[in-house]
Structure formats: structure tokens, C-alpha cells
Structure 1
């Protein structure tokens, strides 16, 4: 393993010891170099010789895509903050990301991003994947050693993390839960730091008729879906006991545990739910999307032999149909008597 890491480092490293990161961009990213030349703040950051940074540089295709879509706008004062999400505070050679499990790294914008081995079909690989907010990227082969740090190519533009509520409000797959949290004024159940939130997708809430659940049951279920701690998918897998094939984590609902079980190569949650999308970073922790609403007051202990839903950790989970705009069919179409009952409940709480 050590020999492989040494070969990875020396086989993909280009050296520009006499150039700063900014100066090296003229050769390695002429598009970015030409755009930031007029930005004093960016030039100073990338050109200071006493700095020690790692610049996760979107490759030319990713850069052109982000500029063309308006995601990166150099005429906006926000361009500095957009790029600073991809600049780590310190030099981190590529091989260091594979020497241990996934780690969080601070950026100069005070956002944490997560870097480590990619998971494919519930197994670790030697591919390096980066999580930042709702975006993910893979590091490519080239690493450039510079006078004041390192440049590493990535294949997608990274975006900063948002609050848990803003993240849920942005994702098309979670508009149902957004409606529940906002209309019932219970968004505080997903607040707080270092939390892992298991968010059911729209179809899961629809199958459960989530908008008709009693208020207390709903709050219990929401609290039960919040794990006390920060658990990216790799940490959950690494916690699986080799004998029992299970790992349990306490939740915000009476410290009641949720059990993850690896069965026949597939990861189950309480023997009833699976991941749909994983490792969405927020300012308070991480969100995983799941295909079933977890019930706080009755936990199934049956095996998962007869389950047929397919998505597992590490599958392509970036795309999903855009279902925004249909909240009228969800929470905001609650029966008037139900809404009236809830209003009375809020008055007397």
C-alpha cells in the first residue's frame, strides 16, 4: 500500500517550485488566470509567497461549465467567496487523502469540506472524492507543487454548504419535508451542530401520508431521524461490526438507537430503509436521503431478505427529476380541520 501511495505521488506530480499558485495558473488554467487578474483580493491570496495553501482547481471543462451556467461570475463581488471554498488552509498532497479514512479540511472561507476515498457499492476505492455542500468532485491525476502550496485538479465546481433547512429547501427530492418543517414550525428539530440527518424523500412521505400524521408522532419521527454526531457514509460503513454486521447510533429522540446493517452487500437502516443519496454537507453536519420514513415508536427488527429497492452507497446519486413547485399536493393541501386542530395545539402549548 505504501509503495502504491509513493508511486501515486511521484507519478502524478508536476513541480513549479519557483512559481506561486497564481503564477502557475497561467500555464495550468489560462481561463481562470485571465479572469482573476483584475481581482486584487484573489491575486494577493494566490500569489503570497508566505502562504501555504491547497487549491482544488476545477479543470478546464468544469471551469467553462461553471462560467457558462453563471455559477461562477467574475463580475460579481462574490467570485472571491465562490473560489475560496476550494482553497484549503495548508498543503495536503494527494496521497495523504488515502492514508486514512475521510477527513474534514478547513478552507480559507471557514467552510469545512470532506475529502477521502470514494465509496462504490458499499466498498472503499482508491479514487479521491470531495464533498462540499450539495456538490461533489473527484480529484484527477495531476498535482502541481508550487512555491506557496499545491494545485490539485478536480472535475466539478464546488459550492459552499448551507444550513440544514436551506439545504432541504433547495433539494427537489425533499420538498415534502420542507413543507412539513415550515408549515408546522418544527424546523428546530434539525438545528444544532454536529448532526447527521436522515431525510426521507418525497415518495417516502407520500407513501406514509406524512401530512396526516398526528403532530406528536410526526415530531417524534423527525427527531428520530437526527443522529447525535457527524457520520459521513464511510464512517457508517467503517463502524459496521465484522461479526454482527451492524452498527447503531443514538438519535435525538430519547437517545433511541438507529441500527445500520450490512446484509448481502447492501446497507439497511432499521431493516426497512436504504440510502438514496448520501453525504450532503451542511453548516451543521451532514444529510443523507433515505427511501422510507423511520418510525420512532415502533422499530422493525425483521431481516431485509425480501426488500427490493436498489440504491446503495456509492451509486450515482447526483441526478433526480425536478419536482419543485408541487407542494400544493403535499403539506399545504392539508385538510382545514387538521390545520385548525394544529393551530389550537400551538396556542395551548
Structure 2
């Protein structure tokens, strides 16, 4: 048993004498449950299998079924791709820690994983605001829906979302790379996340913290504001409809997207608040919230759209039959 910063870690060989500049990081996994790796692997691997299989099926069904070649489902396929990217970015180290008990990760590998996790998460956020815009156009101007959201414009939006994610996330590993790491270099997750890594350097991280705050406000904050404004306009448009049946039908087309927004933003806000204001909270709480944020949306969104969207249900039946 070894004690670091008042916390006890029961697995052997996690800490070693290292120089002031550390080339590797050591992943705890789930704090307090270090010796339960194989048991933890069962629920984790089950959720990863569900997330990867569910999102792959959504992508394949939209590609193969011509009736789904519409703007709404093109955006849904983008959402599935980004969530697939989040799952595949975190899966290697989760398997390494929980199944093979290999907890060491090199600095370059760690920063690369961090970049892809946050990049795909930001793509998730971007696709959700694009889907909110799609619902607004469909309800506000249904007769011009197809002419406004053409295939070329959808492709441009998708490319812009991906490019924004890459450009704005690129400075994170660069800024971290220039800092000295000394001490235990322990990561309280089975993967590398920026809020966890930013606590480890033995140098001033003011620039990193300010850029991280700018990143959150200018991307996730702006995206959530666009989504909110889109739904304000949607509700205003729906209330102006004469037919009650028409109002219910219009709102029903938004249910799946609203569920996806809640599933994505609520855990993300929880993780951000915990890292900003819960510095003295249990490491177990931080680890569990991070796992919920990264695992739950990719698992639930395919289920939500399969249950709530009639066209997807019919397409799935047709695809498998």
C-alpha cells in the first residue's frame, strides 16, 4: 500500500522513483477499486459494445435505406460518427487498465488520446446545435426545408464542425507539452482528460486554465445558447399554429433531439462544475462523473432515436429483414 497526497493506492508498482520530467503517466482507473479491474471490465465492456454496435447500426441503416437520405438523418449519422469516435478513443486504455492491469501510458500517447476524446466531444456538441437548426428550419419553413438544407450545405456544416473541433483543440496538447511534470503523475481515470492532466504540472498553468475556460465558453457555451435560441423560435412558431394536432406533430419531431441534448449537456455540465468547484470532492466522484459523461451519451442516443423516431424503427426492421 502506498499513500500519495493523502490517498491510498493498493496496487503494486504504480509509483516509482522518477526524474523531474516524466515521460509517462499512471492511470488509477476507478479510485478505491484498483483491485477490482476484471469485475469493472464487465459493465464497461458491455457499455462499449452497446455504444459501438448501436452507432454503427445507425450509420449503416442511414447509408443503406434511401428513405432516410434526408437532412435530419444525415445529421444523425454525423452524431453517431462523433460518438463512435469518443468510444473508440477511450476504449484502448480502459481495456489496458481493467483487463490487462497495464496502467502506464506514455506522454505522447496520453496527449494524443486527450486530443481525440475532447475533439470528438466537441463534434458531438456541434452536431447537436446543427440538429437544432435543422428542426427549426423544418418547423418554421417546411416548404423550403429541402431547398435550404441541401446536401452540399449539410456537407459544409459537417466539415465546419469537424474543422472547428480540430483547430480549437489543437493547442491543448501543445500547451501541456511545454510544461514540466513532476511528482506522482497519477490520472484518476482509465484515460487522459485535460481537467485531470492540468493539475499535474509543477509550474504555472494560468495560460492553460484561461484557454480551457475560453474553449468551454466559446464552443460548448455558444452551442448550448444556439440550441436554446433555436427552441425558443421553435416554440414561438408552434404556438402560432392554428391546429392542435399540427402543434403536437411538430413538437413530436423534436423529442429525440431534446433527449439527446439533455443526455449530452447535463453530464458535461456536471463534470465541468465538479472540476471547477469540487476540488476537494472525492476522486471517486470525479471518476464516476467522467465515465457517465463519456459513456452514457454514446450508449443512449442510438436507443433514443430508435425508439422515438418512427422512420428509424421502420428502417431498422427493413434493414434486418
TM-score in terms of structure 1 length: 0.22
Higher share of residues assigned helix: 2
Greater relative contact order (Cα < 8 A, sep 6+): 2
